Structure 1
Amino acid sequence: MVRRLISRCIRWASTLLVLVALVTNWYVHQPRYWQQVQAQHLPPPLAKWAARIGNASADLTDALGLTGRDVEVAYPTALSTNMVACAGLPRRVGEPAPSDIAILRKTGFVVGYSPSLRHPLWAAYRTYPVATPAELPPRPSSFKPDPQAKRSPQHKEYTKSGYDRGHMAPNLAIASRFGKAAQLETFLTSNICPQRSGLNRGPWYELEYRISEIWPNTVGSVWVIVGAVPSPEDRRLQSGISIPTAFYQIVVSQRGERLRAFAVYMPQNIRSRAYARSTLVSIDEIERITGLDFLADLPDDVETALEATTPTRLWPTGIRGLYRLLRERFRSYD
């Protein structure tokens, strides 16, 4: 009798958990504004946990290609794999982007550095599949000022600031494809922004890992623009380095005659275990927030179609990619 009761309770609990996962999975795939409206009618703790459970479930089903929708458009012209930037470098159209952006061309990436902010406003790079990745060199022990960049900070200017030295063009993607000399360029402070550790070592790094280690094997070349959103209050470290209020990544790929893209927006105070999929926004929204124009070399109709809509998932990884992602996630949590 007791065993039957326990068995029945386990079955009911399992059924309930599956239903909760399915409902919350569906919930987080709905438009963001709809979720915000519904959350107003729920107790705050319930809305928070619905989003967390839903994003955890959706992160798995999206990776397997079972759920979610990409934003993609027809584009028969092949993107140049000789360029690190897809469809042109970001262009300033207004504030809050500063007007003193210096273009610094490095091995495998380009940086848009601002002397007034004392950090990069954006960086652009491309990843691609490699048959034999370069052995990852040992991580340098410190960051160096960039002789090409005015007012490039010293390593010690970040010390005890409460912020990580956060890469824009990432060490992993560049060093694994271009070797030691290129890696050292990613450790120039012209490529570094103040980032909270929860962001830098959490969802930001996980997205970098997908871009470097997983998606090139499933979609081919991946073009990326990463950047910082200047603080409207012009908050600065004691050393005078501006503290961004948030960061973004715009990611583009092409398969055949289809072009697809997504963008994420991550505030400084994001949870370290937040799912990157929960930060998806439209590219138009990033343009509005930053005062920059992206993908400007695309035909207007293609650019408009690609930038106006928010996808409901990150790109699938496949089973093998999902395994690698989960292994890396739990390794980084140790």
Structure 2
Amino acid sequence: MAYPWLLFVLFFATKLGTCGGDVGDFGPCLQFFYSRSRRAPWFSAYVYSIPSGKRPGASWKYEPQLAYPEANGNMELLPQGLVDLNVVESQAVDQDYTNSTFSRGHLNPSLHHQVHEDRSSTFTLTNAVPQKAGSNDGPWETLEQTVNKTLAAYCIGKAYIVTGIIPYQNQEHWIKNKRVAVPEYLWSAYCCPQFNNSLPQYLRSAFPTYAAIGRNDINSTEEIVPINKAAKKQFFGYDVRQMSLETLEMYLKQRFNSVVNVFYDSCSEQPDVAT
């Protein structure tokens, strides 16, 4: 199964360099999506579509082409039991998460896609990061649901979403076996250039762009995302802070020590995306 959802036009300038990824030409940008040494994605970029049908079963897959350059781009189911060593070396596998304190957190969620093939294709560990259940099943899930309802109701044209991670500032944190890097925060932003002008007052600041950062560590300081002291125990410390795109880019600049522009021309105009 290929990547039917990885169609996006993006400008991303970081300490790694400058990348302008166009549809069908992600060659210069591959290092910005997936970190082989961290065995985890930096971010995922996709086009939103209104979901239909039930959520696919969580049949997690891997990317053969990361293990074998000659392999095609179709994902394959992770085998039960012993996994090929080349696959283990190239990417995260189920065993990394077994008996850990982390869940598999989608960057590109199944909820934000319409057809079954697109929704199923999000279940690859190259699209997942170690995420605490208090975030994944709590405030972050609420954010994904809110974005889904908002775009479905008020976005007229195409909506573009980028979701990524913020690593720890001083040193990497890892799952138990020190193979898969754990993010300190998750962030997400959308761009909807064409939207219904009859927005309710509370949503006027959510168009054409909207952004948020979520905590993935209850012990993180509160400069970026404050803690809601009244939150339920299982979700305490995993808050999500909504903010402007400009504020998000400011925090990304501070953490990555370089300019980050999430959307082309700050979402003032988006080129068409081929399908």
**Cα distance in 1 for residues equivalent to 2:153 and 2:264:** 27
Secondary structure of 1:224's aligned partner: strand
Q: How large is the Cα RMSD of the aligned pairs?
A: 3.6
Q: Please name the residue that 2:122 is paired with.
A: 186
Further displaced range: 264-273 or 200-209: 264-273
Larger radius of gyration: 1
Conserved? CA contact 1:248–1:286, under 8 Å = no
| Distance (whole Å) between structure 1 residues aligned to residue 91 and residue 173 of structure 2 | 18
Distance 1:211 1:276, change over 3 A: farther
Report the CA distance between 1:152 and its aligned residue: 1.5
Q: Which residue of 2 aligns with 1:212?
A: 148
Name the aligned partner's letter for residue 223 of structure 1.
Y
Q: Which residue of 1 aligns with 2:82?
A: none
Answer yes or no: is the 8 Å Cα contact 1:145–1:155 preserved in 2: no
Query: In percent, how many aligned pairs have the same letter?
Result: 20
Q: Distance in 2 between matches of 1:120 and 1:170?
A: 14
Partner of 1:298: 265
TM-score (norm. length: structure 1):
0.52
The corresponding residue for 1:123 is 44
Alpha carbons of 1:186 and 1:296: their partners in 2 closer, same or farther (altered >3 Å)? closer
| CA pair 89-247 structure 1, distance change in 2 beyond 3 A | same
**Structure 1 residue 262: deviation in Å?**
2.2
Q: Which amino acid aligns with 2:167?
A: P
Q: How high is the TM-score relative to the length of structure 2? A: 0.62
**1:112 counterpart residue number:** 33
Distance 1:228 1:269, change over 3 A: same
Give how far 1:257 is off: 11
In 2, Cα distance between the equivalents of 1:188 and 1:83?
A: 13
Gaps of 5+ in 1: 1-81, 304-334
Distance 1:113 1:90, change over 3 A: farther
Q: Once the 2 structures are TM-superposed, how far is the Cα of residue 84 of structure 1 from its aligned partner?
A: 4.1
Q: CA deviation at 1:275?
A: 9.4
Counterpart in 2 of 1:268?
216
| 1:68-110 per-position Cα deviation (integer Å, ceiling 9, x unaligned) | xxxxxxxxxxxxxx9843xx3252421xx699xx9998xxxx9
**Is the 8 Å Cα contact of residues 247 and 265 (structure 1) preserved in structure 2?**
yes
**What is the rounded CA distance, in whole Å, between the counterparts of 2:192 and 2:92 in structure 1?**
34
Q: Contact conserved, 2:7 with 2:23, CA < 8 A, in 1?
A: no
Equivalence for 1:145: 62
Whether the aligned pair in 1 keeps the contact of 2:215 and 2:238 (CA below 8 Å) is no
Q: After superposition, give the CA deviation of every residue in 1:294-332 in whole Å (9 maximum; x if it has no partner).
A: 2453179x69xxxxxxxxxxxxxxxxxxxxxxxxxxxxx
CA pair 98-233 structure 1, distance change in 2 beyond 3 A: farther
* 1:197 CA drift (Å): 0.8
Tell me the amino acid that sits aligned with residue 216 of structure 2: Q
Which of residues 134, 137, 154 is equivalent to 1:201? 137
Structure 2 CA distance for partners of 1:155 and 1:215, relative to 1, 3 Å:
same
Asked whether the 8 Å contact 2:154–2:196 carries over to 1, the reply is no
Segment drifting more, 197-206 vs 214-223: 214-223
Which residue does the alignment assign to 2:243? 280
Rate the CA distance shift 1:198–1:98 in 2: closer, same or farther, 3 A. Answer: farther
Matched position secondary structure for 1:187: coil
The answer to whether the 8 A contact 2:162-2:262 is kept is no
Aligned to 2:167: 230
More helix by share: 1
Instruction: Kindly state the Cα deviation for residue 149 of structure 1 after the two structures are TM-superposed.
Output: 3.2
Q: 1:275 to 1:252 in 2, by over 3 A?
A: farther
Q: Secondary structure of 1:194's match?
A: strand
